[in-house]
């Protein structure tokens, strides 16, 4: 049963990482994914290759794992390109301690900026002031103190900081894809399916925190 059309959460992707022997958080790669989709529409095959490289494996262990990784990209692209503006970064949820959630946001921001900082000066100068300001805010966010207590004030602050990250990702995508919601073409969906099949065949056996 394919999981591509199901809603993926942080724990689902993190569990796939664990299956592949990785204790790293998916947050950093999700930040990279959001920036890559915004800047140059990373393909399904390209994304699968990037994740496998990060996990230090040649291909996913199973078709189900490949479906999760490909569904992660699909879900992110659909949300970024949707008119409803319902995109959410893939971050630890309320089941995690606030410090873990802050660490996830910090790693997401670092991944996002790692990709964005590779753009040339001409591209950067063409961006709007709101986008540039949002990226500057993220620069500060990438250095936040994550050793925080679980209390309502920090909860509210972390929510506001997450909103900054969410808006920055949507601003980047919309400016790079003006007037073009759902930019992915049908053939890309076929490529996504083929990437999953290939993997299966190969692997069958700002506020501040206080």
CATH code of 140's domain: 1.20.120.740
Residues spanned by the domain of 21: 10-202
Burial of 116 (0-12, 13-18, 19+ CB in 10 A): buried
Domain presence at residue 208 = no
Domain presence at residue 3 = no
pLDDT, one tens digit per residue, over 101-142 is 999 999 999 999 999 999 999 999 999 999 999 999 999 888
pTM above 0.85, yes or no: no
Domain presence at residue 207 = no
Domain presence at residue 162 = yes
Tell me the backbone φ, ψ of residue 41, rounded to 5 degrees.
50, 65
Helix (H) or strand (E) run with residue 38 in it: helix 26-40
The total domain count for the chain is 1
Q: State the angle between helix axes of 186-202 and 44-55 in degrees (0 to 180), rounded to the nearest 10.
A: 40
Domain presence at residue 209 = no
C-alpha distance across the termini of the chain, in Å: 45
Rounded Cα distance, 188 and 183, in Å: 10
Domain presence at residue 2 = no
């Amino acid at each position: 049963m394919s999981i591509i059309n199901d809603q993926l959460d942080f724990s689902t992707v993190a569990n796939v990482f664990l299956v592949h022997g990785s204790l790293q958080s998916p947050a950093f790669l999700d930040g990279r994914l959001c920036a890559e989709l915004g800047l140059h529409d990373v393909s399904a095959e390209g994304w699968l290759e990037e994740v496998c490289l990060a996990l230090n494996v040649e291909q996913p262990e199973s078709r189900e794992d490949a479906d999760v990784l490909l569904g992660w990209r699909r879900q992110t692209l659909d949300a970024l390109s949707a008119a409803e503006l319902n995109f959410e970064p893939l971050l630890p949820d309320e089941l995690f301690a606030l410090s873990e959630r802050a660490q996830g946001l910090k790693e997401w921001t670092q991944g996002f900026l790692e990709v964005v900082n590779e753009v040339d000066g001409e591209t950067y100068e063409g961006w709007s002031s709101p986008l540039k300001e949002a990226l500057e805010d993220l620069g500060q966010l990438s250095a936040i103190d994550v050793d925080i207590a679980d209390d309502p004030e920090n909860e509210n602050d972390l929510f506001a900081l997450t909103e900054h990250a969410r808006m920055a990702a949507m601003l980047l995508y919309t400016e790079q894809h003006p007037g073009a919601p759902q930019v992915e073409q049908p053939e890309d969906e076929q490529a996504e399916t083929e990437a999953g099949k290939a993997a299966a065949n190969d692997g069958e056996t700002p506020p501040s925190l206080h």
